[in-house]
Amino acid sequence: MSEQRRISVRGDSVERPRKPWTPTIQSLLRHLRRTGQPVPEPLGYDDEHEFVGLVVGDAGDAAWQHQLQTAGVRSAGALLRRIHDAGVTWRRPVDAVWSVPAGQDEVICHGDPQPANFAWTNGRAVGLFDWDAARPGSRLEDVAYALLWLVPVGVEKAELERRGFGSMPDRRARAEAFLDGYGWRDSINVVEVALARHRQAIDEVVVLGRQGHQPHADWIAAGWPERWRSGLARMRSLSDGFDPVIPAR
């Protein structure tokens, strides 16, 4: 086993493993902070660690309670939109390094905008951290990823309960709330884009794991990518109960 995942929160700062893309991410965070976005303050790095500021709010396991209501889902859409728009004016380093293969898009995607990576206060998303998976990408990449988690798409009953839902929420209403918050105008099939983005995320785990990054290498060794891929059909069948096509507005 190579390098392990080590993230520790100490007071108001966070220590994370230093990665090849850390200087690029810190430059991005600096720009986003300058434009007033609630993302971690970049505090530098050494050969082994990077340091960032703690974003205030409930995060990780404490995040889930705040996304139970559609108002919270809408707020996450609005925050993601603000951050996407702010990223467009960043002058990226010519030698920018990303964790995953990246295109030339003007938007910088967060790459992992799931509820536990937002900071929340009083049922509203107030910050976004864990930027390791950021990359130039289409807005749809992040929107689809957020929809996967926030609608949610393809989730078993036990997992719904773990997230605090007493019963299946109104997935269409939640999708509309997120897209309204974001200001999404095009027609979208929520299930199709979410599952396609999930497949992309699995492929990205494989890319990272093959390069020896953790925890991805351990996930490959444990056979998770095949299991996730074979679970896609089940995720689709779990989505039978709602109309996922949201027309253009």
Ligand X SMILES: Nc1ncnc2c1ncn2[C@@H]1O[C@H](COP(=O)(O)OP(=O)(O)OP(=O)(O)O)[C@@H](O)[C@H]1O
Residues that bind ligand X (CB under 6 A): 7, 9, 14, 40, 52, 54-55, 59-60, 116-117, 119, 129-130
The C-alpha R_g of the chain, in whole angstroms, comes to 18
CB within 8 A of 172, min separation 6: which ones?
190, 242, 243, 244, 246
Shortest Cβ 117–ligand X spacing (Å): 5
140 class by beta-carbon count within 10 Å (0-12 exposed, 13-18 middle, 19+ buried): middle
Residues 115-154: x where in contact with Mg ion by CB under 5 A, - otherwise, as a string? --x------------x------------------------
Show contacts with Mg ion in window 58-97 (CB under 5 A): none
60 or 212, CB closer to ligand X? 60
Output 40 or 137, the one with its CB closest to ligand X. Answer: 40
60 contact choice in Mg ion, ligand X, none (CB below 5 to 8 Å, kind-dependent): ligand X
Residue 130 or 176: which CB sits closer to Mg ion? Answer: 130
* Sheet-wide strand order for 49-53: 8-10, 13-17, 49-53, 42-45
